[in-house]
Structure 1
């Protein structure tokens, strides 16, 4: 393998592997000797890659515009463009716009040959039964990120309405609906709420940071078990 290909592979390994990643792990990943690994690391740094750490401590790649563009296979490009197109079709206005901007940035960073693959992908997305995103989707998304409790009125499957305060954990896109995974303060348990059955949704001042990740992990564990 030539040195340019080896440097691209090393850069990709630094992006993929949990950091800091040791020289021994990188050398094994690259199937090269430690001495070659150290020389290649020096070449990446000389080329503009911002890499922190050293032998014995592990390396951490800090992304920077000076780095070479990420290289994707044709199938990876196809998957990216299909995924972004799906978000543009199904997401709310802000999310659809974000998908459009993300696609433009990805395409602009690719070499010309790969750009053509992205622009003229072999597959496209179009939904005749295009779903209209609930108006409170953006509000709930922000509440999830900010880890803030949400007050709402919810109509259950029997048609009964109740006032709830919940800790929103994750929004799940199902075939025909959107589902919010949450901790219900009323029931003191995990619950799944359909966004279409929510009304009067407001974000409160109550914060449940930093419990979201641990709660979501436990919810997923229970879902897998049941």
Structure 2
């Protein structure tokens, strides 16, 4: 094993193992003697890693040189925490877990002072939303969105009428307390919002509408601007 590979392996062990990590455990993970390990710790420190600890006490990776510190001010930290906490509140289980993991990764790249601001942020998102158990399989919708594939949607409208639609999925939209799928309905030949709890079944048809998604979204945005123009200041 080359020295650079050994140092990379040591850095990975410091990231992943419960901290503080003893020198003996790190030596085992990197397959070197403890004497060599101490030299490698010094090399990582010289390269910019902030590693707290000493022989007999264990080691903690405080700042990772491979994750450059992000320059967020206090209000940007608040916005970041609020946005991701809102996703944790409103998203389905997979999306909520992804938001939690993203916040942890971003926090790990921050200087220690800013990490404390993340832990003690003064903003919090508290929302009511549909029980994730009532939502359709979100992984199917996301795969169709990313792949620009048509969906077959079994839908029940507000009047209780059941239909099956062919839909070009465009975005998953979070509007107030509701979660819906915005798509181009091939039956109605128009844009429709399908509330997710009213979807009883869905399937990827395999038909592609690539590269139509971007154009459909632009057209939808223009329609919204026409129907709901931005307010202007009153003049006297």
Q: Give TM-score scaled by structure 1 length.
A: 0.66
| 1:139 aligned onto 2:140 | yes
* Cα distance change on mapping 1:209 and 1:83 into 2, 3 Å: same
| 1:109 aligned onto 2:109 | yes
Contact 1:177 1:196 (C-alpha < 8 Å) held by counterparts: no
* 1:69 alignment partner in structure 2: 69
Higher-Rg structure is 2
* 2:219 alignment partner in structure 1: 218
Unaligned runs of 5+ in 2: 1-64, 228-236
* Cα distance change on mapping 1:130 and 1:156 into 2, 3 Å: closer
Contact 1:84 1:100 (C-alpha < 8 Å) held by counterparts: yes
Give the count of matched residue pairs: 161
Find the aligned partners of 1:115 and 1:178 in 2 and give their Cα distance: 32
Find the aligned partners of 2:129 and 2:206 in 1 and give their Cα distance: 34
- Secondary structure of the residue aligned to 1:81 is helix
State the shift of 1:204 in Å: 1.5
Q: Deviations over 1:71-114 (max 9, x none)?
A: 01100001111111111122111101100110011100011111
Q: Deviations over 1:32-91 (max 9, x none)?
A: xxxxxxxxxxxxxxxxxxxxxxxxxxxxxxxxx857422011000011111111111221
* 1:206 alignment partner in structure 2: 207
Find the aligned partners of 1:221 and 1:181 in 2 and give their Cα distance: 15
- Secondary structure of the residue aligned to 2:136 is coil
Q: Give TM-score scaled by structure 2 length.
A: 0.64
Q: How does 1:46-85 map to 2 (within 5 A)?
A: 68-85=68-85
Contact 1:180 1:194 (C-alpha < 8 Å) held by counterparts: yes
* Cα distance change on mapping 1:178 and 1:185 into 2, 3 Å: same
* 2:87 alignment partner in structure 1: 87
